[in-house]
Chains A and B, each alone.
Chain A
Amino acid sequence: MDNFKKKFVEEAFDLIDGLEKSLLLLEENPEDSSIIQKVFRIMHTLKGNSSMFGFSKMDQFTHELETLYDDIRNERVKVNRGILDVTLDSVDHLKVLLDEDADNDPATLKRHADLLGRIAALVTKKSDDIVNSQVDVVETIEEVASADSGVRTYYISFEPHEDIFKNGTNPLYLIDELNTLGQALAFAHFNKVPSIDKIKHERCYAYWEVLLATTLDVNSISDVFIFVEDECTLEISQVSDINLLSEDKFVATIKDIASTRKDLGISEIQKLASQVKTAQINNDLANINKGKTKSKEVVISSIRVSADKLDQLMNLVSELVTTQARLALFAEQNNVPGLQPISENVQKLSRQLRDNAFSIVLIPIENMLTRFQRLVRDLSKELGKDVVFLAEGAETELDKTIIEGLTDPLMHILRNSLDHGIEDAAVREKLGKPKQGKIVLKAFYSGASVHIQIHDDGAGIDPEKIRQKALALNLITADKKLTSKEIYDLIFIPGFSTAIKVTDVSGRGVGMDVVNRKIADIRGEVEVDSEVGVGTTITIKLPLTLSIIDGLLVSINDTFYVIPLNAVDKIYAVEHKELVDKFNNVIVLDGVQIPFFYLRKEFGVEIKEVTHEEIVVVKYEEKRVGLAVDSVVGEYQAVLKTLGRHFKAQEMISGATILGDGTVALVMDTNKMIKSFLIDLDKKLKE
């Protein structure tokens, strides 16, 4: 049972999250009956499950909530702020109740009582089902205790209605069940069966008389028929306080009567019963042999797997991909007949396995939206602002590690938007904006990455203000011309914060630089775009996954590098002389001028006289930039390994990967690399 309990707690957390989400939705649409239904249903499930697994406080609590929402569902009570407040507080409380160790401390108990009181005040009629069910249990125990062990004989007449089959009932099973209660003697009567031409096979014409010797009472016997109470005529009466069926003479007489007559009838039985009243009492109980052994087979449409196991799976897949690369190389170098096709097959399979394993660890961002919704709700209330939070593309999926790393920075961005972005209702009205502020979270796929945008229709960020601040902090020089993007990027420099007032909500000293760093940790990028008076949009670009990337393997001076394939635009073969001695580092490709970096030069490697080299054109921000390499080796699935801490300081190389022959290839972060080249270029031009 402990295992089930754990599962219950896990599931309950999910349910409570779902509840929270639905409640926030309900707040937006208090009249929407489908949401009310959903809220009710979740509470109902929580109640049912918590009672099953012995979480009695939670059972009691959800029962009260269920009652309240039953009233709402039946339109006896209308949803209002007060109800939602107490329900949301209850949601928090429910989470506490799931912790069995914590649910008995005085603070919890007090809160429990408080909330129950608040809920009770909202419910129109107090329900006493809980009390009832407890009484029930006691009664059953008493019943069992008071029932003496004496076997009695009962006469049961069971006449099903003709349409009893309609509900999937098989009356024979009920007769069988009577037999399990003790010793039974059943007589089936078919005299009501019509002639063959009038028979309808979906109707039941038979009826039964049963003599049952059992220790049970009438209630327990009628329990057998509980499902069919309304679909049959039933008569149960005790005819003797001994077991008549153990009297051979009685049984013989009964059988005799049954063979000559249609019905036995209760009066006949009673008459016979009195004749054997003096007979010996024999307390034998029918033994119920339930020893069935049947094969086990289950079909389950989904399973829950621990995150550890998934991490392990991903690690193994990564190792497999690495090993596969070795195999491919080995097959290529050793001309063993048949090895090549096997190696290719392994490559195909490992690629499929990789994609499959990835799709398993991808989870929709929907999972974190509830937290944001709650944050916006609570915070806007605290700040006295009226803000609505909308989300688009909630189904967009991301690696779970990325989602984990994303929640904190997103919370911070939302806090910023709420605190500094969205204006007070009064200010908004003065500006001719709708009174209610709006924050929209939009998630969508863009190539091999996912973009998450947070847009608010608040005051926006004044680039001039940032410039002034940056000047004051000596981050830029007065004569430097900056594009608006470059100005907004200044926000991410550590120690920079434009907030004039520091409030409790944001601006606690951690600024956008922390957001930037945390996003960079998961290989993402942050961009800010804003228009004064109109609003701010923060875009986060994220890789789909962290551990394996498709890359382009290139070589420079016999060293291998991997360029992430999603950054690559085109590859050109160019003559060596086109690349060297170009004073402006621009090359014409397909009739378009493209700036490029000659990586041998940038890496400080000796420049050799060769005839041809290759140039890989990659995307850099909105532009295209060429990276000249010795040669392009081919496509490569790179399993990313982090570099040691000595390499933490640089950003140009995001990781390393092991090639088939065991050599290490460095994975370039082309964006960071080009940015750093540009900064160097800038410095040089200044000198």
Chain B
Amino acid sequence: MAKTILIVDDSESIREVVSFTLENEGYKVLIAVDGSDALRFLDGTPIDLIITDLHMPNMDGIELIKAVRGMEIYQRIPILFLTTESQAAKKMEAKDAGATGWIIKPFVPAKLIAALNKVLR
């Protein structure tokens, strides 16, 4: 069974690059445009990993991570967030909220896969 990864980002180009990379690796990709959009997938759909941006309208990444950790069935799934190097403070905030790890923007596909391999097999 292909693992399912939920990508949450308000930027279409980032979504495209991430999903293109992941599909190439053979993952099944779900796409949401922000935190609240992501919630519609979190209804019992089996998801193996969430990759989320931090800055998004409606519901940002931190809120999303908190919400996911509050759900019984998604309590343990790995969550990676996308961040830029300059946002060190946000990194801690996201970790405290329950994020598993992070991917630093800008990234090349290899870097994305490397981060993925830390949390998903």
For A52, list chain B residues within 8 Å (CB). Answer: 13-14, 17, 105-107
For chain A, the count of residues having a C-beta within 8 Å of the partner chain is: 48
- The CA-CA distance from A48 to B104 in the complex, in Å, is 10
Interface residue B100 (Cβ < 8 Å from any Cβ of A): yes
- Min CB gap A659→B, angstroms: 44
Contacts A48-B105, A52-B106, A297-B28: A224 and B98 contacting too (C-beta < 8 A)? no
Contacts A11-B11, A173-B121: A48 and B102 contacting too (C-beta < 8 A)? no
Interface residue A300 (Cβ < 8 Å from any Cβ of B): yes
CB under 8 Å from chain A, chain B span 58-112: 69, 76-79, 82, 84-86, 95, 98-102, 105-107
For B105, list chain A residues within 8 Å (CB). Answer: 48, 51-52
Q: Is the CB of B26 within 8 A of A296?
A: yes
Q: Is the CB of A48 within 8 A of B37?
A: no
For B102, list chain A residues within 8 Å (CB). Answer: 227
Q: Is the CB of B13 within 8 A of A7?
A: yes
Interface residue A351 (Cβ < 8 Å from any Cβ of B): no
Interface residue A129 (Cβ < 8 Å from any Cβ of B): yes
Interface residue B119 (Cβ < 8 Å from any Cβ of A): yes
Q: Is the CB of A168 within 8 A of B79?
A: yes
Interface residue A686 (Cβ < 8 Å from any Cβ of B): no
Q: Is the CB of A227 within 8 A of B101?
A: yes
- Min CB gap A120→B, angstroms: 17
Q: Is the CB of B106 within 8 A of A170?
A: no
Contacts A52-B107, A133-B85, A170-B78: A44 and B55 contacting too (C-beta < 8 A)? yes
Interface residue A145 (Cβ < 8 Å from any Cβ of B): no
CB contact between B11 and one of A45, A129, A177, A296 (< 8 Å): that residue: A45
For B55, list chain A residues within 8 Å (CB). Answer: 40-41, 44-45
Interface residue A293 (Cβ < 8 Å from any Cβ of B): yes
Interface residue B120 (Cβ < 8 Å from any Cβ of A): yes
CB contact between A4 and one of B20, B69, B121 (< 8 Å): that residue: B20
- The CA-CA distance from A174 to B20 in the complex, in Å, is 25
Q: Is the CB of B29 within 8 A of A4?
A: no
For A481, list chain B residues within 8 Å (CB). Answer: none
- The CA-CA distance from A100 to B5 in the complex, in Å, is 34
Q: Is the CB of A167 within 8 A of B98?
A: yes
Interface residue A165 (Cβ < 8 Å from any Cβ of B): yes
- Min CB gap A177→B, angstroms: 6
Interface residue A166 (Cβ < 8 Å from any Cβ of B): yes
Q: Is the CB of B79 within 8 A of A49?
A: no
CB under 8 Å from chain A, chain B span 1-32: 2-3, 10-14, 16-17, 19-20, 23, 25-32
CB under 8 Å from chain B, chain A span 1-20: 4, 7-8, 11, 15
Interface residue A430 (Cβ < 8 Å from any Cβ of B): no
For A136, list chain B residues within 8 Å (CB). Answer: 85
- The CA-CA distance from A301 to B117 in the complex, in Å, is 27
- The CA-CA distance from A49 to B119 in the complex, in Å, is 25
- Min CB gap B104→A, angstroms: 10
For A45, list chain B residues within 8 Å (CB). Answer: 10-11, 55
Q: Is the CB of B17 within 8 A of A168?
A: no
Q: Is the CB of B118 within 8 A of A174?
A: yes
- Min CB gap A212→B, angstroms: 16
For B30, list chain A residues within 8 Å (CB). Answer: 299
Q: Is the CB of A4 within 8 A of B13?
A: yes
CB under 8 Å from chain B, chain A span 218-235: 224, 226-227, 230
Interface residue A176 (Cβ < 8 Å from any Cβ of B): yes
Main secondary structure of the interface of A (DSSP, over half): helix
For A166, list chain B residues within 8 Å (CB). Answer: 69, 98
Chain A, Cβ-Cβ closest to B22: A298
Chain B, Cβ-Cβ closest to A52: B106
Interface residue B46 (Cβ < 8 Å from any Cβ of A): no
- Min CB gap B51→A, angstroms: 12
Chain A, Cβ-Cβ closest to B9: A45
- Min CB gap B73→A, angstroms: 12
For A47, list chain B residues within 8 Å (CB). Answer: 84
Q: Is the CB of B117 within 8 A of A295?
A: no
- Min CB gap B27→A, angstroms: 7
Q: Is the CB of B13 within 8 A of A49?
A: yes
- The CA-CA distance from A38 to B83 in the complex, in Å, is 17
For A49, list chain B residues within 8 Å (CB). Answer: 11, 13-14
For B82, list chain A residues within 8 Å (CB). Answer: 48
Interface residue A53 (Cβ < 8 Å from any Cβ of B): yes
CB under 8 Å from chain B, chain A span 113-170: 127, 129, 132-133, 136, 165-170
Q: Per-residue 0/1 for A18-50: is the Cβ within 8 Å of any B Cβ (1 yes, 0 no)?
A: 000000000000000000001011001101110
Contacts A52-B106, A170-B78: A227 and B119 contacting too (C-beta < 8 A)? yes
Contacts A48-B106, A293-B26, A298-B28: A4 and B17 contacting too (C-beta < 8 A)? yes
- The CA-CA distance from A7 to B15 in the complex, in Å, is 11
For B107, list chain A residues within 8 Å (CB). Answer: 52
Interface residue B42 (Cβ < 8 Å from any Cβ of A): no
Chain B, Cβ-Cβ closest to A166: B98
Q: Is the CB of B27 within 8 A of A7?
A: no
- Min CB gap B64→A, angstroms: 13
Q: Per-residue 0/1 for A402-420: is the Cβ within 8 Å of any B Cβ (1 yes, 0 no)?
A: 0000000000000000000
Q: Is the CB of B23 within 8 A of A296?
A: yes
Interface residue A582 (Cβ < 8 Å from any Cβ of B): no
Q: Is the CB of B119 within 8 A of A170?
A: yes
For B11, list chain A residues within 8 Å (CB). Answer: 11, 15, 45, 48-49
Interface residue A294 (Cβ < 8 Å from any Cβ of B): yes
Q: Is the CB of A173 within 8 A of B95?
A: no
Q: Which of B14, B23, B26, B77 has the most CB of A within 10 A?
A: B14
Interface residue A180 (Cβ < 8 Å from any Cβ of B): yes
- The CA-CA distance from A199 to B13 in the complex, in Å, is 46
Q: List 20 other contacts, CB 8 Å, given A227-B102, A297-B29.
A: A7-B16, A11-B11, A15-B11, A41-B10, A49-B14, A52-B13, A52-B17, A52-B106, A129-B85, A165-B76, A168-B76, A168-B77, A168-B98, A177-B117, A292-B26, A293-B26, A294-B3, A295-B2, A296-B2, A297-B28
Q: Could you name 29 residue pairs across A and B whose Cβ atoms are closer than 8 Å? A: A7-B16, A11-B11, A38-B57, A41-B56, A48-B14, A51-B105, A52-B17, A129-B86, A136-B85, A167-B98, A167-B99, A168-B77, A168-B98, A170-B78, A170-B119, A173-B119, A173-B120, A176-B121, A180-B117, A226-B118, A227-B102, A227-B119, A230-B95, A295-B2, A295-B28, A296-B26, A298-B19, A298-B29, A299-B29
The 3 closest A-B pairs by CB, nearest first: A294-B26, A227-B101, A168-B78
